[in-house]
Structure 1
């Protein structure tokens, strides 16, 4: 039975950057509305089973409760069996449960940080990331209805080939020779000794960054890479940046509405499996916008770029492939559900 997972992070879109910049607060009631539309999209393509991450707000149960009587769903909707902590670990553990129970596709609601945690636990399950966070480079803005439909056709195996399901890059952080964490978009070395507030926004603390992707239209450290040397999601390379007094500055949107000059010392492209040494210790390494890794003065650390990130569903490609019939039985399968005969 085709099964879709839903991981909706109730904390995404609410971090400290709302206080120091002009980011919009993404409230949980809007997440409920999005999930409701996702469920209706899944039902439309005849997905019969959904596994969701439980949370303190009850996003998925409230989405189900708010359905009109004529939209009641004929699908099994069950909670992943995890012990709630109210932290980012919930996303990771829910993804682990979904991986072990062979979920076919996972829809995430959150930002880069949420998807980083899900990527650590989901194995080879393809993700369909819906943006509800702050600095959103990995997830995209997509209407919940079509997100549900796209996840459904992938979960049911109607379309699950490249470019519908695409590989992504990731960054692996090593400390004293051991891999300790990952990032999907950027790993940023900060001139700090303690984690403190998790989100980053002050450019005077920047020492180094390694990015897997970065375009001028991005927000956050990825935007710096975008103005230096744009790196696409499928490019087999990344960018290493050293900050500080140098030959030039770039004007970059570090957070919503916060556009500041960033001093650049050097930058250079790195290839897949390329490694960048962390040059300044002690320090903190922020992963996808959040301080995570403490590096002491006696530690040795480096960051490696790989193409072993999570698989990601391209919503437009999924629905287009499902109806054009160019990949096997997609057209026939979808027509059974959408082309209604008199």
Structure 2
């Protein structure tokens, strides 16, 4: 059975950066529209079953109910078997449940934070991330119809491995010697002593930055690396930055419409496997734009760059390879 999972985060694109910066709201009705197109494309690609994350807004069920009878797809659409909490952990639990259920692909709709949690639960299932968040370095803007076709081609086994499905980097967070969390794009050490509001926008509180990737066209903390020491998703290295007093100053878009000049004390490229000690405690470590890990006085923390992140579907290359194998052709008598 060919199955595709859909994780549409109803909370993505709505955080406090709409108040402290100039981000726009990505409303859930537009997510319904995208899911409707995903469903129709997956059905056309011959997928047997869709497993979706249940959530309080009912994005997938609303999408199904809005499809007219003329286009109503003939495939099974069922919720993932999770205990709904209405929190960010639903994305992680849904990804784990889908992987256990044997889905071939997981489509995500959210930002960097959503995909961070999905990556922690999806095991070896490749993901296709659609951008619907605030900071969207990991997911990309892709039309739902096209994303559904690409996911369908992968689920049917027409495409596997690079350059259509690529590995990704991540940062592992160690606290007192034990791995406690991870990030896909950036880990940021803040002077805060408790989590409070999750989103990060005040560069004055930043003491260390480690990124897996960062380019000038990115937005968020990783954009600092992008304007200082660019590194791509494919390179086998990352960047560690220590803000503070120094002659180097970098102007970077750290949130929508919010450009800040960041003083840089030092920076360096780091190798896969390298660990960076957190020099300031107590602190809070923000992961992919959200405060997540509290480190108390007397505790230790380290950040390690790896290439063990989730497998990511490249839509254009996937469809190129699938079409070459006759994915879209139909022979009629």
What's the TM-score bracket when you normalise by the shorter of the two chains? over 0.9
TM-score (norm 2): 0.99
Q: After TM superposition, give the deviation of residue 323 of structure 1 in Å.
A: 1.2
Q: Within 2, Cα distance between the matches of 1:221 and 1:340?
A: 51
Q: Which SS does the other structure have where 2:81 is aligned?
A: coil
1:178-217 equivalent positions in 2, closer than 5 A = 178-217=178-217
Moved more, 121-130 or 156-165: 156-165
Q: State the Cα RMSD in Å.
A: 0.9
Partner of 2:66: 66
Question: Which deviations, in whole Å up to 9, do the C-alpha atoms of 1:5-25 show, x marking residues without a partner?
Answer: 000000000000011111110
Q: Which SS does the other structure have where 1:228 is aligned?
A: coil
Partner of 1:87: 87
1:310 aligns with 2:310: yes
Q: After TM superposition, give the deviation of residue 102 of structure 1 in Å.
A: 1.1
1:99-110 equivalent positions in 2, closer than 5 A = 99-110=99-110
Question: Which deviations, in whole Å up to 9, do the C-alpha atoms of 1:286-310 show, x marking residues without a partner?
Answer: 0000000000110011100000000
Q: Which SS does the other structure have where 1:234 is aligned?
A: coil
Q: Within 1, Cα distance between the matches of 2:283 and 2:48?
A: 48
Q: Which SS does the other structure have where 1:39 is aligned?
A: helix
Q: Which SS does the other structure have where 2:18 is aligned?
A: helix
Q: Within 2, Cα distance between the matches of 1:42 and 1:120?
A: 25
Partner of 1:252: 252
Q: Within 1, Cα distance between the matches of 2:332 and 2:181?
A: 53
Partner of 1:155: 155
Q: Within 2, Cα distance between the matches of 1:287 and 1:180?
A: 12
Q: After TM superposition, give the deviation of residue 229 of structure 1 in Å.
A: 1.1
Question: Which deviations, in whole Å up to 9, do the C-alpha atoms of 1:48-102 show, x marking residues without a partner?
Answer: 1000000000000000000011110100000001111110010000011011111
Count, aligned residues: 333
Partner of 1:231: 231
Q: Within 2, Cα distance between the matches of 1:340 and 1:19?
A: 55
TM-score (norm 1): 0.96
Partner of 1:97: 97
1:174 aligns with 2:171: no
Question: Which deviations, in whole Å up to 9, do the C-alpha atoms of 1:93-118 show, x marking residues without a partner?
Answer: 00110111111000000000000000
Q: Within 2, Cα distance between the matches of 1:20 and 1:12?
A: 16
Partner of 1:219: 219
Q: Which SS does the other structure have where 2:31 is aligned?
A: helix
Q: Within 1, Cα distance between the matches of 2:162 and 2:213?
A: 20
Q: Within 1, Cα distance between the matches of 2:213 and 2:331?
A: 43
1:119-158 equivalent positions in 2, closer than 5 A = 119-158=119-158
1:32-47 equivalent positions in 2, closer than 5 A = 32-47=32-47
